Structure 1
């Protein structure tokens, strides 16, 4: 059977990393626990329990972080209410039928990877305002974009490249609302004028056209396709079934779901995305990587999902053994991450949008004098170093303390219900970053 594209990408990344033996060696957590004949022993049934006990301190610490960075359900519900208000405004001011308007989450909120900001500034909940209008009405993208903006008059709005940013006083979030129409409703002449890219066949039924205001043209987008892709890949299992069953029985009772945005440690793909995003945010917050060149969320989501999907393929094909524990899988993904995007001779950095033909998410990496690629490498090095330091510890209290420090979740006393876990855990107190040193003329 031919190897899938993602399996080949991961296999190449593993080779660049030094091979399977080196993949997680530096972090002190081996990924080959199931390849050493453990299940040939008479104590086969006890092996999963042993693995769980060995990984429990790490799983517990990461569960705490994952829980704390979760956005509370009441905030999600408040955003949903705001969606309804936006829809009503469009109906009232533009005379569009309510049945033609669909406002729904995109990005992190739709993939269940939405997290809190380290400094408790407002977080953004991306939304798509999908309008099922006629081909005639869809002919002028700028008129369509402007009509949405006029309908939002009375709210605190700001035009962005492809969306309207809507701030809500007294709320912990703002909404970036992207006007869109189904891709198929754009006339052929306009598709040609805008040079619209086609959707990948698997995701054609969710493809949209959004307005690229700097270019005054339509641009293909597919947020629901990304959501469906992440959902499909996350359903795959890269952890040995016996261990996962044992882990679920022993650990789930100690991990309390706090909202529909909540995910558990055994949901390896989403947890990896959430923790890596939090680590990136902390490194920006602590001024260790440049905010302007940080790896954006769609880059992280795409790289991690491709990596996870490729690992699942290699495991199914028998090239790799299943991981011994969800924590092992998470660490291995972190170890492979910097090897998952390559600067190809002649074309530069390429990271394909899995839902849109020919779209390169890493396009900006090729016109910034290497700043984004360098920042990504620096951040990946920091992530590796932090996980290596945590995995070298053996005392559960030290593991928890170091994990909290790395991810900026310090336990302390605070107002009830103010924690990122919706009130089920300790208050998160994050030290303010040091003030930057004054610039010195002549020094870089």
Structure 2
């Protein structure tokens, strides 16, 4: 475990980090467009003619769109990855197989795509079905079928002496590679996206509630309406967004080794201590996130899923030790880059340094925001930094905060 002193962050660096977080925040209209897409699918699955209506299918979002930590794609070649779950609430594991459940959802999604005259085919992945939207939309939606599994999950966690606070919303999901995929079995892969969201919000609960009240006070949101998580941006969410973009740029030519978002998000939420400023939250996270990685006696690593402690988000590190090495390499580089930038007082220099870590396009937007604070014209860079230029030539990213595909 490395102990790092928190740097003294200059006011100029604090403002630059705030501008950086604002530059990475996607428009609320994009969230609403994604929400409209999975609501539309949910309505379709419950229409009178639906072949699965009797099973009470309920669609809800998961992953970074649910957590409010989405960042824009690094290039026009990439899509927003919208992850959703379709829960069959009136069907059980004793009544079907994973394979049949997957087929039931797939048949309806094909029908949905035909009715909506979607030009791209529905594609099957390991755990989910993918809806590809028109090119201009720049997003696809991965929908994983699942069954309610809260009672079984609570019993499993209690038997192992593990935390079962979030077990109520657990689901059983499908996986083509699972040994019992084609047979009726009590043994299904597990997931708990709603439990994970509840845990994530609990890690920022005080400031999250404060900022919700602020939105209501300012009249931005009505007090009688439920306010979605994505509409309330906290330092934890901002820090996760910044670190994800830093990771994307650093691993643009090594995508197979890139630390997955669910590991970054989980460790960041563990290390966050309710700080009110982005810089304070960012450095609490950078300084402390590796403390929540367990090194087992056999040398393997454990990053437990807080909503299902029997799941190890770092399970693939055993087979691919280069991914573990890449995570620690990234962490040290992020500590260096943000510490260096935070101690400077020249905004132009701070932004130039950050441009190498987050991409020239984002850095130029930060310059514009900084200039707007001062009422002066922004001075833009002559071109993209090398890493972002590479990112624009990179293949599309399909990895989201959940591991569905």
Q: Which of the five TM-score ranges fits, normalised by the shorter chain?
A: 0.7 to 0.9
TM superposition shift of 1:398: 2.0
Residue deviations 1:192-226 (CA, integer Å, cap 9, x gap): 9xxx9999421122111111221116211100011
TM superposition shift of 1:383: 0.8
Mapping of 1:164-203 within 5 angstroms? 164-169=129-134, 170-184=136-150, 200-203=163-166
Aligned position for 1:50: none
For 1:129, what is the secondary structure of its paired residue? strand
TM superposition shift of 1:389: 2.1
For 1:179, what is the secondary structure of its paired residue? strand
Q: Within the alignment, does 1:233 sit opposite 2:199 as a pair?
A: no
Aligned position for 1:261: 230
Q: Is the 8 A contact 2:10 2:342 kept in 1?
A: no
Aligned position for 2:313: 361
Residue deviations 1:377-398 (CA, integer Å, cap 9, x gap): 1111221121122123221332
TM superposition shift of 1:90: 2.6
TM superposition shift of 1:271: 1.7
5+ residue gaps, structure 2: 182-186, 219-227, 366-377, 394-405
Aligned position for 1:418: none
Aligned position for 2:328: 377
Aligned position for 1:67: 22
Aligned position for 2:243: 276
Q: Within the alignment, does 1:122 sit opposite 2:92 as a pair?
A: no
Residue deviations 1:274-318 (CA, integer Å, cap 9, x gap): 111111111123x2xx2112111111111111122xx56xxxxxx
Call closer, same or farther: CA 1:388–1:89 in 2, change over 3 Å. same
Instruction: Report how many residues are paired.
Output: 340
Residue deviations 1:237-288 (CA, integer Å, cap 9, x gap): 6xxxxxx99xxx9xxx9xxxxx973555xx2221221111111111123x2x
Residue deviations 1:103-149 (CA, integer Å, cap 9, x gap): 11101111111111111321101111112123377431110111111
Q: Is the 8 A contact 2:88 2:146 kept in 1?
A: yes
Call closer, same or farther: CA 1:198–1:87 in 2, change over 3 Å. farther
For 2:81, what is the secondary structure of its paired residue? strand
Aligned position for 2:46: 91
Q: Is the 8 A contact 2:13 2:345 kept in 1?
A: no
Structure (1 or 2) with the larger CA radius of gyration: 1
Aligned position for 2:188: 218
Call closer, same or farther: CA 1:382–1:299 in 2, change over 3 Å. same
Call closer, same or farther: CA 1:129–1:394 in 2, change over 3 Å. same
Q: Within the alignment, does 1:305 sit opposite 2:305 as a pair?
A: no
Residue deviations 1:75-100 (CA, integer Å, cap 9, x gap): 22222222133224433564333892
For 1:335, what is the secondary structure of its paired residue? helix
Partner Cα separation in structure 1 for residue 232 and residue 379 of structure 2: 18
TM superposition shift of 1:400: 3.2
* Runs of 4+ residues over 6 Å off in structure 1: 196-199, 425-429
Partner Cα separation in structure 1 for residue 198 and residue 340 of structure 2: 35
Partner Cα separation in structure 1 for residue 147 and residue 392 of structure 2: 45
For 2:203, what is the secondary structure of its paired residue? helix
Call closer, same or farther: CA 1:348–1:405 in 2, change over 3 Å. closer
Residue deviations 1:330-351 (CA, integer Å, cap 9, x gap): 2232133344424322261011
Aligned position for 1:5: none
Aligned position for 1:440: none
TM-score by length of 1: 0.67
Q: Is the 8 A contact 2:54 2:90 kept in 1?
A: no
Call closer, same or farther: CA 1:340–1:197 in 2, change over 3 Å. closer
For 2:350, what is the secondary structure of its paired residue? helix
For 1:432, what is the secondary structure of its paired residue? helix
Q: Is the 8 A contact 1:352 1:358 kept in 2?
A: yes
TM superposition shift of 1:404: 4.0
Partner Cα separation in structure 2 for residue 105 and residue 364 of structure 1: 25
Partner Cα separation in structure 2 for residue 334 and residue 393 of structure 1: 18
Aligned position for 1:23: 5
Call closer, same or farther: CA 1:260–1:205 in 2, change over 3 Å. closer
Call closer, same or farther: CA 1:136–1:101 in 2, change over 3 Å. same
